């Protein structure tokens, strides 16, 4: 399983819209958003790494609405020393 991150989505996109967008490239397990406004990012869990890689390659830089999508493999949250 691989998680991809999609930012710069049109503000009216829902989890269903993102799922339909990515499902063309493989099986989508879950979709959820983090953040609000311009900081909103969609995270998509895909069943197979190869399908996630195809989705990243195909969708990164494509235009949706007036936005150019940024699609990449989601990076794990880094832990910071306090």
Domain ranges, ordered by start, for the chain = 2-73
Closest alpha carbon to 34 in 15, 51, 56: 15
Q: Are strands 70-73 and 2-7 parallel, antiparallel or unpaired?
A: antiparallel
Q: Where are the alpha helices (DSSP H) in the chain?
A: 15-23, 49-59
Q: Identify the pLDDT of residue 34.
A: 94
Q: Write down the pTM of the prediction.
A: 0.88
The hierarchical CATH code for the domain 2-73 is 3.30.70.330
> Cα Rg for the chain, rounded, in angstroms?
13
Q: Identify the pLDDT of residue 66.
A: 87
Cβ–Cβ < 8 Å for 18, 41: no
Residues of the chain with pLDDT under 50: 80
Alpha-carbon distance of 22 to 36, in angstroms, equals 21
């Amino acid at each position: 399983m691989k998680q991809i991150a999609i930012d710069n989505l049109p503000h009216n996109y829902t989890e269903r819209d993102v799922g339909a967008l990515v499902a063309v490239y493989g099986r989508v397990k879950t979709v959820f958003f983090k953040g609000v406004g311009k900081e909103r990012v969609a995270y998509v869990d895909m069943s197979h790494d190869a399908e996630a890689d195809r989705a990243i390659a195909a969708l990164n830089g494509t235009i949706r609405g007036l936005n150019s999508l940024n699609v990449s493999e989601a990076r794990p949250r880094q832990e910071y020393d306090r």
